[in-house]
Amino acid sequence: MGNTVFGSLGGGVVKISLNDEVKVKLTSEGVKVLANRHYKLRKKIISNRGEDIGPYTLRLDEDGYYTTQLWILLNAFQAYFNWISADVFQKNEFIFKDSEEVE
């Protein structure tokens, strides 16, 4: 199955690829996580004499959702997928674009 995940949404089963885009609403803690990752990357690039990528800019759609590929989201927030960490997503909801239902 490669990088395909099967999940349950609304009683049905949906086929999701790790490359699929996912939309989430971030909490203030979630925004801090992304900003901190960017800061660390920026610092590393500059220390290696690379071109400065500039300060972090949060990009949200008109409804306030942050959109990225699922694998990137999982990588960025892996430390927060447990029961003792701060909530980084509002209502812990994920909206998968272009997912397909399977029977």
Which DSSP string do the residues of 48-89 spell out, in sequence order?
TTPPP--S------TTS-EEEEHHHHHHHHGGG-SSSSPP-B
pLDDT of 72 strictly over 50: yes
Residue 1, class by beta-carbon neighbours within 10 Å (0-12 exposed, 13-18 middle, 19+ buried)?
Answer: exposed
Q: Is the pLDDT of residue 6 over 50?
A: no
The pTM score is 0.77
Report the pLDDT value the prediction gives residue 103, as an integer from 0 to 100.
62
- pLDDT at site 102: 64
The span from the CA of 82 to the CA of 15, in Å, is 24
